Structure 1
């Protein structure tokens, strides 16, 4: 199916909201005074509505990473409505699509289409087929059968307008008489910050940071993104283990959403907190570490491989030493040419010269001196052959 014409793809409701609210927020900074009570309330309400998205929309409804009491669900439903990011059903549908089709054309906010597209352009231009249907298929049975989700979806517009603008204005107005500040600061400006914090999960978390557990997709882990998004910045972990209620697993990593869910579990508001088996988590981390090590190793000269080297029996080896004057030694079945190393041997020339034409495995491994990684790595580049067969006992060095 083709794509809808550009003029039909514009989502005018989202466009007006995403353009108007920042303009009003800028107006607030210059023309609306901010008292300390309203400032504090704005910050508190930012966290309430922000957690409504991260703990509610994201980790509870979209991923079902834990179970929750009805009271908790009700609170999160109202709190998340105040973030004005669409209904639970709409938001979760898009997010599940994002996880199933990450970085593909069916990913609604794929960073492959550009960082700005992932951040907010996907909400301005509808990404649908020519028949208007959303791309991708995901299972929404659980949310379609959820009465609270259906209620919020049906009455989302009045719920959103009340929780996003009216409620914070009422608190500031009735609480300390700051009606204008309540609307512009706790309502509009707070909403802009919540919006772009969430948007950073779709953009920044797919661009900044490390591929800690897998590098086959764009999600990344970074502390800065976690700070910006109430703990959603360990996004590589999340995409690998999406049904884990945590985004951060280290005690020092910033994930207040995880802490909130856990604290609520202590009083029975949340329960059955899902965690992915640590053994499997560590496998992913170690596999990525090994991949990075392998990439670094590939840049270094490790000398020739066995397949690249000739295979000599001892008679050939000793002939090269005695008749051609080659300065060759044998260590652990490998033949080394030490011609250029004799004058640089830390233990002096004598030991190297006495080893020429002999198997000095015992001496190398502790008989004379137990050599460490530096010596063994250096030897890799001096290899010229692989020994085939046995070494006569009289040519095998003994311990010192």
Structure 2
């Protein structure tokens, strides 16, 4: 995490400060992304390797740390868990255990002082500010109430935690720099710059899920919560930008109504893994349940929701219904699932 903070300071010094000084924006962009040999970087065909590496590392977060280990939306065999662990490590966003713990706390106590990146504290805080200060005491205390035994019991997670430092050096910096140099004759300078650029951009892509998708978008499933549907982040985040759906139904492996490749790459990846037998027990919310929930609590932006009688639906929903669960396995989910089954029967 200290590395993330250092890179943020670089961004501030090379990007934000020049903007405040009225430096032309295109100069700021070039100064940030191409600080050394701009011509080599701009014309390097091998830059595509950085894109692919970024794609796989982000998927290690979205399909791995997020949908598998945090929310338990599906089960993965050992080869798939090792694959996802490798790429999650390459993303360098804390190990699987810490990432999952923080995210479960975020779902359980969304937009309270116990939320690690509480969006009510503003865009900067929810984006990166939460990494630049000490955790609120509520985050620490409430975090102790979250059951993480399932994550710690995974030998793949145990291996990563034991060898995390050498693993991040290898997967985040050494391999993505060395591969273009060795196989394609890329210069060390360009390859290293590509590696750093990839890392900085992928970090901000993840951080945007904590900030942008809690502020800018629609709320077709639950208008009472801060999370929103954001098309741009849905595409950039490999399907993570459909955040209003995800916070409403955190146990759905798709994190959206659809898991097609174009708008939900991680969902499509998990679906493919299930086809070859590496992923099993994929959890999906029934279409009827989605429609009823959208009609009851949504902002009306979801298509085809007016086919139900809203008054009749509301009368069938228990008054104490709530959605504060981190995903499948939360100790509070059993009663909630019973409520859903009764309401949607």
Query: Residues 270, 86 of structure 1: CA spacing in aligned structure 2 closer, same or farther, 3 A cutoff?
Result: same
The whole-number CA distance in structure 2 between the counterparts of 1:58 and 1:133 is 20
- CA pair 128-177 structure 1, distance change in 2 beyond 3 A: same
Structure 1: 5+ residue runs without aligned partners? 1-10, 293-400
**What's 1:180 paired with?**
189
Deviations 1:252-288 (A, max 9, x none): 7711111111112111121211101222111111224
- Give the counterpart of 2:63 among 55, 71, 74: 55
In the superposition, the TM-score normalised over structure 2's length comes to: 0.75
Matched, 1:15 2:5: yes
Aligned 1:49-198 pairs, distance under 5 A: 49-129=57-137, 133=140, 135-136=142-143, 137-178=145-186, 179-185=188-194, 187-198=195-206
Matched with 2:220 is 212
Cα deviation 1:213-237 (Å, max 9, x = unaligned): 1122101112122122111111010
1:227–1:254 Cα contact (<8 Å) kept: yes
Is the CA contact (8 Å cut-off) linking 1:230 and 1:255 kept in structure 2?
A: yes
After superposition, residues 287-298 of structure 1 pair within 5 angstroms as 287-288=296-297
SS in 2 for 1:37: coil
Q: Which has the higher strand share?
A: 1
Query: Residues 22, 60 of structure 1: CA spacing in aligned structure 2 closer, same or farther, 3 A cutoff?
Result: farther
Alignment of 1:310-389 (within 5 A): none
Gap change, CA 1:28 and 1:215, over 3 Å in 2: closer
Q: Secondary structure at the match of 1:64?
A: coil
In the superposition, relative to structure 1, how do residues 127 and 290 fare at CA in structure 2: closer, same or farther (>3 Å)?
closer
Instruction: State the secondary structure of the residue aligned to 2:51.
Output: helix
How far did residue 208 of structure 1 move?
Answer: 1.1
Shift of 1:96: 0.2
Given that 1:65 and 1:243 are in contact with CA atoms closer than 8 Å, whether structure 2 keeps it comes out as yes
C-alpha displacement of 1:22 = 7.8
- Does the 8 Å CA contact 1:69/1:270 hold for their aligned counterparts? yes
Change (3 A) 1:290 1:168: closer
The secondary structure found in structure 2 opposite 1:169 is: helix
* CA distance in 1 between partners of 2:12 and 2:178 (Å): 21
CA RMSD, 1 decimal: 2.5
The unaligned stretches of length 5 or more in structure 2 are 15-29, 302-345
Q: Secondary structure at the match of 2:91?
A: coil
Q: Which residue of 16, 19, 35 maps to 1:30?
A: 35
1:260 aligns with 2:265: no
* Cα distance between partner residues in 1 of 2:299 and 2:36: 56
2:221–2:299 Cα contact (<8 Å) kept: no
**1:272 corresponds to:** 281
Q: TM-score, normalised by structure 1?
A: 0.65
Structure 1 residue 18: deviation in Å? 3.1
Structure 1 residue 27: deviation in Å?
5.6
Q: How many Å separate the matches in 2 of 1:26 and 1:63? A: 39
2:292 aligns with 283
Q: Aligned in 2, Cα 1:261/1:26: closer, same or farther, shift over 3 Å?
A: farther
Residues 14, 124 of structure 1: 8 Å contact kept: no
Structure with max Cα Rg = 1
Q: Which has the higher contact order (CA 8 A, sep 6+)?
A: 2
Q: CA, structure 1 residues 181+128, in 2 after alignment: closer, same or farther (shift >3 Å)?
A: same
